[in-house]
Amino acid sequence: MERVAQRCIVCEEERTDGIAICEQFICQQCEQEMVNTDVQDKKYTFFIHQMRRIWLTD
């Protein structure tokens, strides 16, 4: 089965491996990074910012 590439909402790269949250796609790389990102890490803030685009679409 061919997998269609989707645009990751975090890194905005088109990838085939990843997860869908609220019909938004997050690639496996970013998902793994998010899981491993410490709350103190500056990157965490970036992820939250990107994630807010999913839930705060209005």
- Site residues for Zn ion per CB under 5 A: 8, 10-11, 27, 30
Name the DSSP letter for residue 19: E
| Helices and strands (DSSP H and E) totals, the chain | 2, 4
**Shortest distance in whole angstroms from residue 23 CB to Zn ion:** 16
The token duo for 48 is 């939250």
**Shortest distance in whole angstroms from residue 19 CB to Zn ion:** 10
Looking at the Cβ atoms of 10 and 24, the one nearer to Zn ion is 10
**Shortest distance in whole angstroms from residue 56 CB to Zn ion:** 19
